[in-house]
Structure 1
Amino acid sequence: MEKPVTTGTTTAQGNRWLILAVVAGCFLPVAADATILNVAVPSLTETLGASARDVLWIADIYPLMMVGLVLATGPLGDRVGHKRLLLTGLVVFGAASAACALALSPIALIGARAALAVGASMIIPATLAIIRQVFDVARERAIAIGVWSAVAAGGAAIGPVAGGLILEHFWWGAVFLINLPLAAAAIILVSVLLTNQPAQHKEPWEPLSPLLGITGIIGVVYAVKSLAHRGAPWWEAWLPGMAGLAALIWFTRRQLASAHPMLDLSLFRARSFRVGTVAATVPVLVLVGFELQLAQDLQFVHGMSPKEAGLFLLPMPLATFAAGPLAGLLATRHGLRVVIPVGLTAAAIGYAGIATSAERPASLLLTTSLILIGAGHGAVQTVASDVIMTGAPPQQAGAAASIESVSYEVGAGLGIALLGSLMASLYTSNFTPPAAVAAQLPPTASDSIGEALTATQGLSGPTAQAVTSAARDAFTAGYRITAIVAAAVVTAIAVGTAVAMHRGRPRPPEPASEQPDQQPAVDVPRA
């Protein structure tokens, strides 16, 4: 058994649950900030003049920057100590939150959100690594990682709820100012509870790989968004896309050739690790990408205020928080082969329910669908995080946390880009304003529903109503198809993981004298 990690006054063995509460509290605003601006899209469109592409970049730059940054910050935590990394991240996160709140243009907000990602990229692997070090009993560790995973999925789900409640009384920048007192309290608690303990064996650290990762992901995502933007020149998509692919290939080759890779790609040889990584990436892609569209549907199409939209979405984060720890317990008994397919199936049913009730928001079917989505994603994220984290030795807890973090951020970044671009393309193809007023509308009215509604402010009553109806009809049509796509993707992952885990199921054990004791290939490690 691993030696307990000590704190300033007692051992973590006796203080571990309090430590879990503190690190979960540090992580919650980081997770929530990935989606907290979803309900602020109308305000950003009106106040900052943000276009459809601006909105996607404001939302997307945060997870995309973290994809590369966590590659460096995870191993860096092993070298300098996870407490020191966590405290530094909290300071940067708080300062960047203030910069976001004071941004006066879309470009300034995008830059401040990138700085916010720097702080978040330190907090995420530090919190997960501390949990991995403090909880040395497998069953308790599964519960603790389940709590962390519930915060990851639940924070993304609760972001729009918190944002809606804040926007009811304050301007959009206040959604970032709330981070300041939270970061200050976290700094005090972390300073008191933990002592800094760098790993005795320190892996080499280098900055080129993270730079390649950031360049590659942003280049590919930029290409995807440019392809979805009508009228963009061909080179605006192909040049960044090819540069991004080249950077990702270079990054992969460096990891395979390095004696001390930042991402140990050899881990993907294990079936359980592949299943866990896919389960940690693709469902997050769907959840974060679709939630941005869901918040816009409730406000732009159905006329809800930010507060009403946030409260309407509340069942989803509640279900996520409840399902995470429960899934951690179930995983220790039944393993991945039960929890992942069941959780993904529940989420797929939820997306299908939203597709069938797109025109009726205030319905029992939609509320049930939100609960199924929240519970399904919360359960899957929990067991996926556990199988990734428990596969690494304690001295490489930061590196393992980097893999978990990269999986989450890749999913979030690509989800906003892919589903957001799909939705924009569908909206543009379905937007058909009355011929008599089409010439009066700016070209941007066909880019997003927010820009179309902004364009109606200078039109007469009946004309404005006609354009509004056309914009809402176009958005609803695209929104329904996006929900169907989300359901199909999650269903495909559910079937694929079930088949993969069935094939990897261990054969009946031989007598003990003939075969050494082994753990099942796809089960979460047990005590």
Structure 2
Amino acid sequence: MPSVTHPITAARPIAAPPARRWLTLAVVSVSLLVVGLDTTVLNVALPTLVGELGASTRQLQWIVDSYALMSGSLVLFCGSLADRLGRKWVFMAGLALFTGASVAAAYAGSVTALVLARGVMGVGEALIMPATLAVIGNIFPCGAERTKAIGIWSAAVGVGTVIGPMVGGWLLSHYWWGSVFLINLPIGVAGLVAAALFVPDSRAPETGRPDPAGALLSVLAVASVLWAVIEGPDRGWTSAAVLVAFAAGVLLLAAFVGWQRRAASPMLPLRIFRHRALAAGDLLVLLGAFALIGTLFVVVQYFQFVLGYSAGQTGLRLGPAALALLVAGPLAGVLVPRLGMRAVSAAGLALLGASSAVLATTETADGYGRALVAMLLLGAGAGFVITATSDAIVGSLPETDLGVGSATNSAAIQLGAATGVAVMGSLLSDRYRSGLDAIPAPVPGSLLDSAKESLGTALALAERLPGEAGTTFAKAARHAFVDGMGPAMFAGAGVTVTGVVLALLLAPTRGADPTGTTHPKDPS
């Protein structure tokens, strides 16, 4: 095929040949699969890090959360950079940063170094995510073809997230813990080469002057809220530090909104939220991410510590969720033009709610069969929600706002994921600790306090107890954990049921434009 140059687009989508459009989609989707994978790949490696790096429970939390904090707080700013500087180059910069930081994380010799490397990886994701969605919105025309493309894009994001524990478990069973990060190196390098060759560049036709004040306010506002959400379960939701962080986040957000209304060239034009599909899509994908990531956080522990699977076996048991998502994402891309965002997003949230309900009513004696049903529902629901909302968001945006508008989608996912882990994890932990208090423990009080940190700690302690004492305590700890899954999973079900109601009330119907007024169906 002869080489094709791709000048920066000024005002309308690139008229690239169909084959090249789908090749571009493949490049960004594979890169996104790795980014999604890294959101959860570390979960199964956390017990290993305790032994290898001597990480405490609090340090383990920040190894995971530094990634979400940096990504979530910077994504709006990075989306505006993509519109101003060029989406291809911001995507490539993010991929290069993500790949380099992955190598640093793989060879980190201390917890501090690993936390810093994970934070830089989060910055890379903040650059990658909105740029890729904006690229797709630019090269695919409106209509069914774009919806199918976004279905594939969302499947890559979701499948990467779900198979993270699977890949991590396999790597840990064959290599050292750093391999869960080093796997990003060959894919990242190949992605950079392919992006340079096949991804066209585009930017907003009218970018205006930079908005450093808006960027700073947005970063501080989102970072304050995310920090409070992350620290809430450990410090207590009513602790002074958490309440101050929440209050600071609200005040900074109010200042950001006020500034964006007055700024001549705002970083986040507030007019984009007048698009009904974008506003509803951001809200619904936030609720979907809450249920998806919160459920994965709980289920990985359930598989390993209650059902007794190894890290590799746990990954395999999550495989059906990945397969369901891989089917549901593109399928939703076919259904959205026919049924509309409202029906598909509501169906996806209902499936996520059903998955939560199955896990909420799980008993200690239940085996993998019940969890398998929950995994299939989880993957299918996530595929429907991510595709329907992402398509609605991109479809509602003019070329001028593709990058920063896509960033609102990424920010909603990050906030929903962090909140889901914090809230569902907190409810699980509270009931688990209460369950341990309620049993006649065959261990001293000081050791019981250690067992309350996690089920993994309790089981390790049980192995050191003599005879029947260890067996009895391990059984009681597992029962307390499964009992704690009830309120955690019911919280996920409640959030998704709320999402179904909001989807039916707020999301545009079939045949409606992004603001809710009807228009003829696109023939493409």
TM-score, with structure 2 as normaliser: 0.89
1:265 aligns with 2:270: yes
1:168: Cα distance to partner? 1.6
- Match for residue 402 of structure 2? 397
1:477 aligns with 2:483: yes
Is contact 1:298-1:361 (8 Å) kept?
no
Q: Once the two structures are superposed, what CA deviation does each residue of 1:73-113 show, in whole Å capped at 9, x if it has no partner?
A: 11212222222112211111111101222233433322211
1:140 aligns with 2:179: no
What is the one-letter code of the residue matched to 2:404? A
1:150 aligns with 2:158: no
Distance (whole Å) between structure 2 residues aligned to residue 5 and residue 408 of structure 1: 34
1:356-375 matches, within 5 Å, as 356-360=361-365, 362-375=367-380
1:167-182 matches, within 5 Å, as 167-182=172-187
- Match for residue 41 of structure 1? 46
1:21: Cα distance to partner? 0.6
Q: Once the two structures are superposed, what CA deviation does each residue of 1:340-396 show, in whole Å capped at 9, x if it has no partner?
A: 112211221122112223425534332122111111111111010011111112233
1:12 aligns with 2:19: no
Distance (whole Å) between structure 1 residues aligned to residue 365 and residue 108 of structure 2: 36
Distance (whole Å) between structure 1 residues aligned to residue 381 and residue 416 of structure 2: 16
In structure 1, runs of 5+ residues without a counterpart are 508-516
Residue among 25, 29, 32 paired with 1:24: 29
1:292 aligns with 2:325: no
What is the one-letter code of the residue matched to 1:50? A
Q: Once the two structures are superposed, what CA deviation does each residue of 1:450-484 show, in whole Å capped at 9, x if it has no partner?
A: 33334456544544434433332221111122112
1:301 aligns with 2:306: yes
- Match for residue 513 of structure 1? none
Is contact 2:138-2:202 (8 Å) kept?
no
- Match for residue 456 of structure 2? 450
Distance 1:57 1:269, change over 3 A: same
Distance 1:228 1:122, change over 3 A: closer
Instruction: Please report the RMSD computed on the Cα atoms of aligned residues, expressed in angstroms.
Output: 2.9
1:118: Cα distance to partner? 1.1
- Match for residue 437 of structure 1? 443
Which moved further from structure 2: 348-357 or 307-316?
Answer: 348-357
1:117: Cα distance to partner? 0.7
- Match for residue 68 of structure 1? 73
Distance (whole Å) between structure 2 residues aligned to residue 92 and residue 471 of structure 1: 42
Is contact 1:315-1:367 (8 Å) kept?
yes
1:309-328 matches, within 5 Å, as 309-328=314-333
Residue among 274, 283, 294 paired with 1:278: 283
State the identity as a percent. 36
Distance (whole Å) between structure 2 residues aligned to residue 447 and residue 135 of structure 1: 49
Is contact 2:272-2:405 (8 Å) kept?
no
1:155-170 matches, within 5 Å, as 155-170=160-175
Distance (whole Å) between structure 2 residues aligned to residue 458 and residue 275 of structure 1: 53
What is the one-letter code of the residue matched to 1:479? M
Is contact 1:129-1:397 (8 Å) kept?
yes
1:123: Cα distance to partner? 1.3
Residue among 240, 243, 247 paired with 2:248: 243
Distance (whole Å) between structure 1 residues aligned to residue 521 and residue 214 of structure 2: 30
1:185: Cα distance to partner? 0.6
1:327: Cα distance to partner? 0.7
Is contact 2:276-2:515 (8 Å) kept?
no
Which moved further from structure 2: 438-447 or 289-298?
Answer: 438-447
Distance (whole Å) between structure 1 residues aligned to residue 440 and residue 201 of structure 2: 65
Distance (whole Å) between structure 2 residues aligned to residue 468 and residue 403 of structure 1: 44
3-state secondary structure, aligned to 1:144? helix
Which moved further from structure 2: 252-261 or 86-95?
Answer: 252-261
Equivalent pairs, count: 513
Distance (whole Å) between structure 2 residues aligned to residue 295 and residue 358 of structure 1: 16
What is the one-letter code of the residue matched to 1:175? V
3-state secondary structure, aligned to 2:174? coil
Is contact 2:284-2:385 (8 Å) kept?
yes
- Match for residue 492 of structure 2? 486
Is contact 2:44-2:168 (8 Å) kept?
yes
1:435: Cα distance to partner? 4.5
1:495 aligns with 2:501: yes
- Match for residue 353 of structure 1? 358
Distance (whole Å) between structure 1 residues aligned to residue 514 and residue 443 of structure 2: 71
- Match for residue 209 of structure 1? 214
Distance 1:50 1:444, change over 3 A: farther
1:71: Cα distance to partner? 1.3
Which moved further from structure 2: 435-444 or 287-296?
Answer: 435-444
Is contact 1:24-1:147 (8 Å) kept?
yes
Q: Once the two structures are superposed, what CA deviation does each residue of 1:28-62 show, in whole Å capped at 9, x if it has no partner?
A: 11111111112223223343343443333322222
What is the one-letter code of the residue matched to 1:478? G
Is contact 2:346-2:503 (8 Å) kept?
yes
Distance 1:142 1:161, change over 3 A: same
1:420 aligns with 2:425: yes
Distance 1:142 1:506, change over 3 A: closer
Which moved further from structure 2: 49-58 or 132-141?
Answer: 49-58
What is the one-letter code of the residue matched to 2:16? A
Which moved further from structure 2: 85-94 or 445-454?
Answer: 445-454
Distance (whole Å) between structure 1 residues aligned to residue 355 and residue 194 of structure 2: 39
TM-score, with structure 1 as normaliser: 0.89
Distance (whole Å) between structure 1 residues aligned to residue 159 and residue 212 of structure 2: 32
What is the one-letter code of the residue matched to 1:297? Y
